[in-house]
Structure 1
Amino acid sequence: KALPYTWTQLLGELDIVVPVPKGTRARDLVVTIQKKKLKVALKGKEPIMEGELCKDIKVDESTWNIRMCSLQDNELLLIHLEKSNKEQWWENVLTHHPKIDTTKIEPPNSQLSDLDGETRGMVEKMMFDNQQKQMGKPTSDELKKMEALKKFQAAHPELDFSNAKIT
């Protein structure tokens, strides 16, 4: 049986599209968005969808609205859910609905500028280190060690390092 909605997701968010009868307005709907539950119904009717969400969401950052759809003979209820864990793909929207294979998801290419400062720094360091290794040059950690050794040698000219094996 086909689901009464379609959905798409990014790592941090999930969008659900629910067709509703033409002429449906916000006041005609009951949309309940909770941390772990979702309910969508036309007032006085059986729910179109209702149940436990696959994972937790941020209720305050989740929204819904209705859009007219000229291509179909109905309106579209658009529900936007912000995931609490922005690093996990969802297998389904509601736990009792069929699961998708999350290993087949191909995430969009992200930009370094999309990352927070600490993560961006780690990625840039890894990229630099990989380039250095490919060219047979020292990595950033090796460069730091070499710099520390130079400072130590400069601070201790009385020590003879000519026969030292440094790895």
Structure 2
Amino acid sequence: MSDDEHDNKEQEARDRADREREQKEQAALPYRWAQELGEVDITVPVPKGTRGRDLLVAIQKTKLSVGLKGKEPIIAGDLCKEIKVEESTWTLEDQQSVLIHLEKVNKQEWWENVLQHHPKIDTRKIQPENSKLSDLDGETRGLVEKMMFDNQQRHLGKPTSDELKKMEALKKFQAAHPELDFSKAKIS
């Protein structure tokens, strides 16, 4: 086995262990959450038969609290990033879960967690749904795909798209000027 294959196997084992740890941490939270670039959706289980009037839900620009009246909140704390309060909503579904929809202020950024004091996820490994990616306008989609490619390349220790472009430009220049010595050239 070559050193590269050995390093790849070690990296895969570390990635697998990180994923398992992350999944356990997320499963231990008192809610489930999912995100897209522009929004976060949270599901908070509540006792079966809960009515809207039994709930205290506070959605603020940088804070979130969900709980039953007269009891400690189920979740409460500072959001990891700012949200648009006027575009964020909550509903009670089947008298057993509170669905919270948060609109991100920064729609070009993945969240590492919902509340700052909760365990973080590795946002470099997020793979957005292709259907949602295709909903983006051409320029934004290109930017997102470039960010995803560059994150993956960095994670693998390979050159980013900008570094690849510089290398390609240097190769073309070298080919056009064989009389010049590039042996000490540095790309940065």
Question: Same fold by TM (over 0.5)?
Answer: yes
Q: Give the Cα–Cα distance (whole angstroms) in 2 for the partners of residues 33 and 96 of structure 1.
A: 17
Mark the runs of 5 or more structure 1 residues left unpaired by the alignment: 69-73, 124-167
Give the number of the structure whose residues are more often strand, by fraction. 1
In structure 2, stretches of 5+ residues that fail to align are: 1-24, 144-188
Correspondence 1:93 to 2:119: no
Structure 1 runs of 4+ aligned residues shifted over 3 Å read none
Normalized against structure 2, the TM-score is what? 0.57
Residue from 85, 93, 96 that aligns with 1:75? 96
> Cα deviation per residue 1:61-110 (whole Å; 9 max; x = unaligned)?
00000111xxxxx7111000000000000000000000000001001222
Kindly indicate whether residue 80 of structure 2 is the aligned counterpart of residue 54 of structure 1.
yes
**2:114 paired with 1:114:** no
Amino acid at match of 1:103: R
Please give the alpha-carbon distance, in whole angstroms, between the structure 1 residues aligned to 2:117 and 2:111: 13
Query: Number of aligned pairs?
Result: 115
Q: Distance in 2 between matches of 1:107 and 1:75?
A: 28
Counterpart amino acid of residue 100 in structure 1: I
User: CA-to-partner distance for each residue in 1:118-146, whole Å, 9 max, x for gaps?
Assistant: x37x88xxxxxxxxxxxxxxxxxxxxxxx
Describe how 1:13-24 pairs up with structure 2 within 5 A. Answer: 13-24=39-50
Local SS of the residue matching 2:41: strand
One-letter code of the match for 1:114? Answer: L
- SS of 1:57's equivalent in the other structure is coil
Instruction: Give the aligned partner of residue 180 of structure 2.
Output: none
Aligned to 2:150: none
Distance 1:114 1:8 in 2: 19
Matching residue's letter, 1:20? V
Distance 2:96 2:42 in 1: 14
